[in-house]
């Protein structure tokens, strides 16, 4: 049963574009991109994941073998191949993906000479190709660094979703990201906003995790989503089966958290 009934007629020509980013690795960035997308799709939304991480984990996590990634986000940015030639279906109904391979690791160097280097993804996601896909959401899985690929994502996006692991020093790493977001606003995308911060890998039994949550809510206020993603073995296992957790184990706490996060995201926009 779909949790968002209006979605029956919700496909639009101007999808909401969200960059999922944190320059710190291991915070649940790709896990959040995959599972948030799957949860939105479960609510009847049509979602495109743009895998902008050279590790290609979002592609792998959705069962797209390296041999099946003909054209990728490297071709989209460097060769300016049409979006429709890059996008492929996944086993998750309502979720498409523009996959990535390790070729993308050289994109930063190759983009430097391109005068449109910061706007390539922006233009691709606003092309007639993108309109023809009738998407509701585009979720960009950014690399764990603040490089030209991440800048492309921020310039292309309407908002930024920041996964924050519930651990010591978690908040300290946000300052550079916030500075980058501010610079992108000033130089290229004045409407870019922070969609929110989602606490991930949260262990309610751990005093430190509870303190991190309290500090985050005190420091960032309403920017922090009410939904907290728990540390959950099912979430960790799901990628090895090339499935989002909401398919792998719909009743798990991790699955329920990502469904709640998707609902909260849609409600904020409404």
**Quick one: three-class SS letters along the chain?**
CCCCHHHHHCCCCCCEEEEECCCCCCCCHHHHHHHHHHHHHHCCCCEEEEECCCCCHHHHHCCCCHHHCCCCHHHHHHCCCCHHHHCEECCCCCEEEECCCHHHHHHHHHHCCCCCCCCHHHHHCCCHHHHHCCCCEEEEECCCCCCHHHHHHHHHCCEEEEEEECCCCCCCCHHHHHHHHHHHHHHCCCCCEEEEEEEEEECCCCHHHHHHHHHHHHHHHHHEEEEEEECCHHHHHHHHHCCCHHHHCCCCHHHHHHHHHHHHHHHHHC
Q: Which of 129, 163, 149 is nearest to 48 (CA)?
A: 129
Q: What is the pLDDT of residue 208?
A: 84
- Residue written as token pair 């030639």: 85
Domains assigned to the chain: 5-269 (3.40.50.300)
- Residue written as token pair 């492309």: 152
The whole-angstrom separation of Cα 162 and Cα 144 is 11
CA 120 to chain centroid: 18
Provide the residue-wise pLDDT of the chain in tens; the chain has 270 residues.
Answer: 344 434 433 445 589 999 999 988 888 999 999 999 999 999 999 999 999 999 999 999 999 998 889 899 999 999 999 999 999 999 999 999 999 999 999 998 899 888 889 999 999 999 988 899 999 999 999 999 889 999 999 999 999 999 998 877 777 778 888 999 999 999 999 999 999 999 998 887 888 888 888 888 998 999 999 999 999 999 999 999 999 999 999 999 999 999 999 999 999 876
pTM for this predicted structure: 0.92
Alpha carbons within 13 angstroms on the beta-carbon side of residue 154 total 30
Q: Which of 22, 49, 25, 46 is nearest to 35 (CA)?
A: 49
């Amino acid at each position: 049963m779909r949790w968002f009934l209006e979605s029956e007629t919700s496909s639009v020509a101007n999808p909401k574009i969200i960059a999922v980013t944190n320059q710190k690795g291991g915070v649940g960035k790709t896990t959040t991109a995959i599972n948030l997308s799957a949860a939105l799709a479960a609510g009847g939304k049509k979602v495109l994941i743009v895998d902008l991480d050279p590790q290609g984990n979002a592609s792998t996590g959705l069962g797209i073998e390296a041999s099946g990634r003909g054209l990728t986000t490297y071709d989209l940015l460097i060769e300016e191949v049409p979006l429709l030639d890059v996008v492929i279906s996944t086993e998750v109904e309502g979720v498409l993906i523009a996959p990535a391979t390790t070729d993308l690791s050289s994109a930063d160097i190759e983009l430097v000479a391109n005068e449109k280097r910061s706007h390539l993804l922006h233009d691709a996601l606003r092309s007639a190709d993108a309109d023809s896909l009738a998407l509701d959401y585009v979720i960009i899985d950014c690399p764990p660094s603040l490089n030209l690929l991440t800048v492309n994502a921020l310039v292309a996006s309407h908002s930024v979703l920041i996964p924050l692991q519930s651990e010591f020093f978690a908040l300290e790493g946000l300052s550079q990201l916030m500075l980058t977001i501010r610079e992108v606003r000033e130089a290229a995308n004045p409407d870019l906003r922070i969609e929110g911060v989602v606490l991930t890998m949260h262990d309610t039994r751990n005093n430190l995790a509870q303190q991190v949550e309290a500090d985050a809510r005190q420091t960032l206020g309403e920017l922090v989503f009410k939904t907290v993603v728990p540390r959950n073995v099912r979430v960790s296992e799901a990628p090895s089966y090339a499935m989002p957790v909401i398919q792998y184990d719909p009743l798990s706490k991790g699955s329920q958290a990502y469904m709640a996060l998707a609902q909260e995201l849609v409600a904020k926009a409404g």
